[in-house]
Amino acid sequence: MVKIPHFSNLESLYLSEIPEEFDIESFYDFATGNQKTEFDFIFSFEISLDYQIRLSAVVDKILQTENHSYQIPVMLFDGMTREMSELAMDRSVAFDKVRKQ
């Protein structure tokens, strides 16, 4: 997707039932360099434990970043801890409020 011309000009992108073939690390690299696009991703309930671990690692990187220069993606997946989902949603809402000021 990130190779599609003008993909970085999207205002928002919502995807659901995302399979584990989705390259989460490439997406993370793209998202952290993109200040415009809001991402809301819901991953398939059929993803493997290994992929859940990869997703958790990306969410941890996002949550551990103090100052975001990008839209904080909302990513929900089976195996995500409640704390991760609450922090991700809180960070996303807080960033959106700051951005609109």
Domain, as residue range, for 69: 33-99
* 18 is a domain residue: no
* 70 is a domain residue: yes
* 40 is a domain residue: yes
Average of per-residue pLDDT across 47-66: 90
Give pTM, 2 decimals. 0.77
* 21 is a domain residue: no
Residues contacting residue 8 through CB under 8 Å, at least 6 positions apart: 2, 30, 34, 36, 37
Q: Residue 82 and residue 38: Cα distance in Å, rounded?
A: 22
* 14 is a domain residue: no
Res. 10: pLDDT tops 60? yes
* 91 is a domain residue: yes
In the chain, the number of structural domains is: 1
Res. 98: pLDDT tops 50? no
* pLDDT confidence of residue 92: 60
- Residue with the bigger pLDDT between 62 and 49: it is 49
